[in-house]
Structure 1
Amino acid sequence: MNTNDFKIFEAVAAHGSFTKAAEATFTVQSNVTARIKSLEEEFGVSLFTRTKKVQLTAAGETLMHYCKQISQLIEAAKRELSQRNQLIGHLKIGCIETTMALKVPELIQRFNTTYPDIELEFKSAMSPDLIHEVMNYKLDAAFITAPITSTDLEQRLIKEEQLVIVSSGKYETLNDIVQDAQVKIIVFEQGCVYRARLESWLSYKGIINYKSTIVNSLEGIVNFVEAGLAITILPLELIEQYYPNRKLRTFSIGKELGSTTTMIIYRKNRNQDPLLQAFIEMY
């Protein structure tokens, strides 16, 4: 085995596909298959399940843990031998859509200034998908909403956010909204905490006759709302910072539904990863 075998192994785990791993590592699928088979023979275990989805087995997860440590040691050796103190490497970070809009641009600018040799890659998705990808080593860390209970994940509080109902300027009060013959809402897909909060608020108001439209774009949601086609729920900071001049109106709701927590999560066995810790400490 060699370090390139480990890179191929990590690529298969990250992409959940031998074909995509081959594309990512600039080789052919037969080579990926051969290298994974070689590793499995070397360790005497199966590293992946090969059903509809290619996923790590328990043994594969154990090897992934050591792969990350090996990568860290190699980078540390490069820094020491080249007498460079600058961190070098790549981090893949997941974000919910609103965090992507609010925080990522500023974060990239500050991080790149301090760590120019660390490449940052961001992916936006719903919190359940982000948690799954962190657990399966497809993401190094992720910003999600609400605390989690997994014992394998470390979580740190980022901030508390105030959520508000957002409508077009035609509504003067929340009562005007709920008195419509049919309330129309514009939301992200299932798994979005904002959608769940809005549906809970409607239920609390006794509104069961509402129509949902799903748009997986923050800008698209804001455009729909401004046009008076629907209402939504979003962080107040987002509206105030990025849409102060749009024809929107915001309404506060109760603290239980109107507040949420943003956390950053990562696997506990990544606690000693200097790249990841540099990212978390800067944030």
Structure 2
Amino acid sequence: MTAPLDIDQLHTFITIVDTGSFTRAADRVFKTQSAVSMQMRRLEERIGKQLFAKDGRGIRLTSEGEKLLNYARRIIRLNNEAIAAFDDNRLEGTLRIGTPDDYADRYMPEIIGRFAKTHPNVELYIVCEPSEDLAEKLSRGELDIALVTHHPKVRVSDVVRTEPLCWVGSANHPLRDDAPVPLAVGRRDCQWRQLAVAALDATGREHQVLFTSWSSTVLAAAVLAGMAVSVLPESALRTGMKILNQSDGFPPLPPVQIGIMKRPGAPTSLINAISNHITACLDNITPAAVDDDMDADVKTFPRVARLRAGNMPGW
């Protein structure tokens, strides 16, 4: 019988990846650095592959390490869910969660589904509004936690995901080269809108805002109908959309960062539980599926980066 993977080794492996070093990981998991190194040697022996390679003075994951990371996160998450399912001291209460509706559409189904299985006695109250409005609701005590676009000059949040911000158009309706770029974007205070307009202005390309809404469903409908171009995070792309790049006359945009904001004084156990679920679910989000008959450059998405800090503007 094949020996199972060791949960503790997998946890240490993930911690090394998240902290970026064996030394910091050792502090996080309360082990000596030599003990952490020994765990990784045993894990590599169990897998039969090298997981880390030297990168200057640091380390990086090998391709086999990247492959294991995805499985490791899923195994640890399922392990935690199994333990929580038999916990006699289950969490109870109400959690008020805020998120922009584009994040709700892409991220919340998995977050809510997994959280409800683990904590069936917790009632979730979901509010979908722009990040700026959610931050105000948190400050007034109307929400407990919010998933927002990180914007350090405006609000403080803990970054849990970083990914490309893309220009998108319809895969089935080509743009006219002799007309201003028709835009479907958020309200005037939307940072993505400001980034898009500033980028087009910088290149001297004419544009016109045709659709304004903070509803991602409305903006996506305009794009899919071939009526406008918009900007979306990579993971929010939908079937029928095409990424527009520099060869199409669209300048590169800075990446978008997603952060968590918490209400001071909110129930710690509930907040920690939902925060862990959000982080774990966002770790496993992959780019949305696209049509098989789309161009090669549309089907191939850039690798999503997952960072822990930065100063990127957002919605």
Distance 1:123 1:90 in 2: 13
222, 225, 231: which one aligns with 1:224: 222
85, 100, 118: which one aligns with 2:104: 100
Other structure's SS at 1:143 match: strand
What does residue 274 of structure 2 align with? 279
For residues 168-224 of structure 1, the C-alpha deviation after alignment (integer angstroms, 9 at most, x for no partner) is: 23677xxx66x4332211112233232222112222222355233113432222221
Q: How does 1:12-161 map to 2 (within 5 A)?
A: 84-148=88-152, 155-161=157-163
Is contact 2:245–2:252 with CA below 8 Å preserved after alignment?
A: no
**In terms of Rg, which structure is larger?**
1
Kindly state the Cα deviation for residue 282 of structure 1 after the two structures are TM-superposed. 2.2
Other structure's SS at 1:230 match: coil
For residues 80-109 of structure 1, the C-alpha deviation after alignment (integer angstroms, 9 at most, x for no partner) is: xxx951111001111122211111000111
Other structure's SS at 2:112 match: helix
- How well do the aligned residues superpose, as a CA RMSD in angstroms? 2.6
TM-score normalised by L of structure 1: 0.60
Distance 1:224 1:92 in 2: 31
Structure 1 unaligned segments of length 5 or more: list them.
Answer: 1-82
141, 165, 168: which one aligns with 1:166: 168
What does residue 257 of structure 1 align with? 253
Distance 1:93 1:209 in 2: 36
Structure 2 unaligned segments of length 5 or more: list them.
Answer: 1-86, 279-315
2:212 counterpart of 1:214:
yes
What does residue 234 of structure 1 align with? 232
Is contact 1:171–1:249 with CA below 8 Å preserved after alignment?
A: no
Report the more deviating stretch, 209-218 or 258-267. 209-218
The number of aligned residues is 189
Letter in 2 for 1:136: R
Letter in 1 for 2:275: I
Change (3 A) 1:138 1:255: farther
TM-score normalised by L of structure 2: 0.54
Other structure's SS at 2:89 match: coil
